[in-house]
Structure 1
Amino acid sequence: MVAMERIGYLFGGFAALMAVIYGLWNDFSEPVGVTGLVLGALLGFMIAGYLNITRRKLEGVPPEDDPLGEISDIAGDYGFFSPHSWQPLFLAGASALIFLGLAIGWWIVALGAALAIPALIGWVFEYWRGPHAL
């Protein structure tokens, strides 16, 4: 976590320095580039600050910062992933129709939305069982 924090500070400092150099190079007459670089610097500092606060809240040394740590020290539960769900495929097809409709016609957007709503509901409630199942 310390390495990621340092990378965030490094990126933020580099972007801030480049914003100043870029601004001086064109006498601050072109604001879009300076604004983009300042926002990039703020993003780097924000990520580094978040990692700093999170690291200080943790007790002890995190497994990724322990020089004597093993790979198995950081292993954990990554969650549940559905092995055979068809719902993402249906939702992807409906989303493709929605984006196609933005280019061709609004009636295709309505068709895609009508297909996306049941696909999304089916994916969210796929593993509900019992008296409250859909």
Structure 2
Amino acid sequence: MKAESWIFAICTVFFVLVTPAYWLITSAGATGGDWTGTVALLMTALLTALITLYLGVIAKRGHERPEDRQDGEIADGAGEYGFFAPFSWWPLWCALALGVICYSVALQAWWLAIIGAVPGIIAVCGLVFEYYRGEFAH
């Protein structure tokens, strides 16, 4: 993980240097600067610093992944990834409801958000409780 922490450290330094330069370049205009881009670059610098810190701490503790070892095998990284429903229709309905809600926000039609939220709540409940009823109940 040392390689990853160095990559993110380099990115952090880049964003720390670019953020004030971007602010200076955009503040020279008549509009008084682009605060949105400056804040986005600042948050990106903080995010890469956070990832650098995490990967550096993990590397110092001596925790290494199987793919980081020279003698690591593919089977060393095997394990439980979780359970995923093989043939569920609920994610489709969740996505459609979310699409309606996002479309309503873009149009600023808040009544449409309510129309999308009602089936969205039903779809999320169906997705969460899919394996608690019917043929697949535990």
Q: Would the TM-score normalized by the shorter structure come out above 0.5?
A: yes
Aligned-residue CA RMSD (Å): 2.9
Q: Who is 1:85 aligned against?
A: 88
Which digits, 9 at most, give the CA deviation of each residue in 1:95-122, with x for residues without a partner?
Answer: 2222233316332221111111111001
CA contact (8 A) 2:5 2:53 kept: yes
With over 3 angstroms needed to count, the CA separation of the structure-2 counterparts of 1:45 and 1:128, relative to structure 1, is same
**Partner amino acid for 2:129?**
F
> Is the Cα–Cα contact under 8 Å of residues 104 and 113 in structure 2 kept in the other structure?
yes
Whether the 8 Å contact between 1:15 and 1:38 is mirrored in structure 2 is: yes
TM normalised by structure 1 equals: 0.76
**Ranges in structure 2 where 5+ consecutive residues have no aligned partner:** none
Letter in 1 for 2:5: E
1:98 aligns with 2:105: no
Taking only the aligned residue pairs, the percentage that are identical comes to: 38
Q: Deviations over 1:4-37 (max 9, x none)?
A: 1111101001222333555666788747355443
Give the structure 2 partner of residue 52 of structure 1. Answer: 56
Equivalents in 2 of 1:99, 1:112: separation in Å? 9
Q: Does 1:116 align with 2:112?
A: no
Task: Report how many aligned residue pairs link the two structures.
Answer: 130
CA distance in 2, matches of 1:95, 1:25: 39
Amino acid aligned to 2:3: A
TM-score of the pair, normalised by structure 2:
0.74
Residue range with higher mean Cα deviation, 35-44 or 106-115: 35-44
Aligned to 1:74: 77
Unmatched runs of 5 consecutive residues or more in structure 1: none
Residue 19 (structure 1) aligned with residue 19 (structure 2): yes
Q: Give the letter for the 1:71 counterpart.
A: I
Structure 1 CA distance, aligned partners of 2:26 and 2:95?
45
